[in-house]
């Protein structure tokens, strides 16, 4: 249905383009342009004056504000407000106006996140103001560039600010599985090869292990004492910006460690680990642990 409507709209545009512009067409286009000009300045009072009191706005499916709205106040509150939240840098630029009677088809360029897509808007002008407005935006493009698009969580900083976490590279999940298998195999050379040169591990006790040699010594002491075996339970790959605006690659994972206590009894511990990955290697391990009930 949308494609058919667009074809009709384009046909009307082509027909109107072949006709000399009348004074009525010029006035209708001027009224349509006034709405875009006011929106571009952010002057909502001036923009509201370009709209009829019961102007009907129809927003397409695929947007969180899809639906029909009436009057400038409802449009400002329920369309423009979420647009500002989703796309702080949102800009719409009309590049051509095509009048057919009191209907104006507007070719536009929508810009957000530094990316631009083309769109067509339909404006109905009556007595010099908007009485109907309908858009045919690329919802997929727009939502892909929305603030927090693909967000799977939120990262908070000490100053109270926050940034979204996004789904990360699933290839790093297998890397973690391989890393744990190397622990179970006691393959210390492979573990060292998978660590960065500036590797750092923080144990549940608060002990800090720096570098692969210290990491190996830590593991050897633990293995000699308790012969631990690890089982990966779950892994979530996520990317997020740090306080300096640099994108970091992280894994969050839950693991079960089965070890033998000093009394020879088997015990299980549940570990959650935050893992920072740099250049495909393990840069940081932050480990928290709790004993699992028997």
CATH number for the domain spanning 79: value is 3.10.450.50
E strands present in 113-207: 115-126, 129-135, 151-156, 162-167, 195-202
d(CA 190, CA 160): 40
Would the pLDDT of 2 be above 80? no
Task: Report d(CA 207, CA 212) in Å as an integer.
Answer: 15
Q: pTM of this prediction?
A: 0.55
The total domain count for the chain is 2
137 and 157 belong to one structural domain? no
Same domain, 200 and 234: yes
Confidence bin at 175 (pLDDT 50/70/90):
very high
Asked if 38 and 46 count as a contact pair (C-beta separation under 8 A), the reply is yes
Clarify whether residues 226 and 140 are in a common domain. no
Band (21; pLDDT cuts 50, 70, 90): low
Same domain, 133 and 156: no
The verdict on 133 and 158 lying in the same domain is: no
**Structural domain span for residue 17:** 2-144
- Whether residue 19 sits in one domain with residue 129: yes
For residues 105 and 202, membership in a common domain is answered with no
Q: Which of 82, 115, 144 is the last residue of a domain?
A: 144
Q: Which domain-ending residue is among 121, 144, 167? A: 144
CB-facing half-sphere around the CA of 229: CA atoms within 13 A: 5
Return the pLDDT at 5: 47
113 pLDDT more than 60: yes
Query: 202 with 241, same domain?
Result: yes
Residues 139 and 157 in one domain: no
* pLDDT bucket at 109, cuts 50 / 70 / 90: very high
All residues at 6 or more sequence positions from 205 whose CB lies less than 8 Å from its CB, including other chains: none
Of 126, 144, 162, at which residue does a domain stop? 144
Residues 184 and 258 in one domain: yes
Same domain (yes/no): 95, 26: yes
Gap between the Cα atoms of 44 and 32, Å rounded: 15
Query: What average pLDDT does this structure show over 47-62?
Result: 96
């Amino acid at each position: 249905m949308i494609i058919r409507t667009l074809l009709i709209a384009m046909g009307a545009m082509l027909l109107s383009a072949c006709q000399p512009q009348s004074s009525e067409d010029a006035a209708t286009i001027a009224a349509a342009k006034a709405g875009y000009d006011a929106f571009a300045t952010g002057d909502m009072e001036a923009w509201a004056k370009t709209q009829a009191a019961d102007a009907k706005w129809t927003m397409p499916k695929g947007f969180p504000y899809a639906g029909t709205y009436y009057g400038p106040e409802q449009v400002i509150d329920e369309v423009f407000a979420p647009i500002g939240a989703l796309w702080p840098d949102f800009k719409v630029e009309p590049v051509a106006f095509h009048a057919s009677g009191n209907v104006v088809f507007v070719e536009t360029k929508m810009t957000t996140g530094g990316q631009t897509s083309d769109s067509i808007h339909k404006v109905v002008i009556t007595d010099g103001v908007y009485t109907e407005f309908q858009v045919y935006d690329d919802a997929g493009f727009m939502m892909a560039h929305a603030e927090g698009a693909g967000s799977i969580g939120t990262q908070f900083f000490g100053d109270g600010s926050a940034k979204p976490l996004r789904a990360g590279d699933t290839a790093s999940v297998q890397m973690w599985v391989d890393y744990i298998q190397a622990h179970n195999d006691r393959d210390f050379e492979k573990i060292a090869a998978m660590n960065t040169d500036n590797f750092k591990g923080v144990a549940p006790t608060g002990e800090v292990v720096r570098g692969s040699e210290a990491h190996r010594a830590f593991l050897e002491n633990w293995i000699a004492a308790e012969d631990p075996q690890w089982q990966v339970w779950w892994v979530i790959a996520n990317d997020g910006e740090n306080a300096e605006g640099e994108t970091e690659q992280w894994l969050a994972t839950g693991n079960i460690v089965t070890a033998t206590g000093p009394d020879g009894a088997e015990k299980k511990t549940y570990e959650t680990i935050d893992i920072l990955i740099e250049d495909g290697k393990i840069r940081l391990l932050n480990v928290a642990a709790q004993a699992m009930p028997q």
